[in-house]
């Protein structure tokens, strides 16, 4: 499943109202660790059609970053039923990210 772009206008519909668990990757284009994690997120999104995956550019959507206390990036938050249930902060290897996916699916 493709990674969906999420912004201030689409967050409610694509994340909070989604019937599936959603992983949201808060990132910035200039962030080196974000660029390292990006391909891992993309791979997992392809492997796990039961989970929606979205990306939010914190530079373009600072209100959402502030609302969800994103103080450092990359910051991946897992949403279920419109609530944050877990998060991963920083660049982590694919096995660790997959383990988080399993725990939050």
3-class secondary-structure state, position 39: helix
Q: State how far the Cα of 46 lies from the Cα of 49, in Å rounded to an integer.
A: 7
Residue 93, burial from CB neighbour count under 10 angstroms (0-12, 13-18, 19+): exposed
Q: Which of 22, 23, 24, 34 is catalytic?
A: 34
Q: Which of 15, 31, 53, 56 is catalytic?
A: 31
Q: Is 95 a catalytic residue?
A: no
Q: Is 51 a catalytic residue?
A: no
Q: Any idea which residues carry the catalytic annotation?
A: 31, 34
């Amino acid at each position: 499943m493709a990674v969906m772009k999420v912004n201030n206008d689409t967050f409610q519909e694509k994340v909070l109202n989604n019937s599936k668990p959603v992983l949201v990757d808060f990132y910035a284009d200039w962030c080196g660790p974000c660029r390292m994690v990006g391909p891992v997120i993309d791979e997992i999104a392809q492997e796990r059609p039961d989970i929606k995956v979205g990306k939010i550019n914190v530079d373009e959507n600072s209100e959402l970053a502030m609302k969800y206390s994103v103080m450092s990036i990359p910051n991946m938050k897992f949403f279920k039923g419109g609530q944050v249930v877990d998060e991963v902060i920083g660049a982590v290897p694919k096995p660790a990210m997959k383990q988080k996916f399993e725990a939050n699916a």
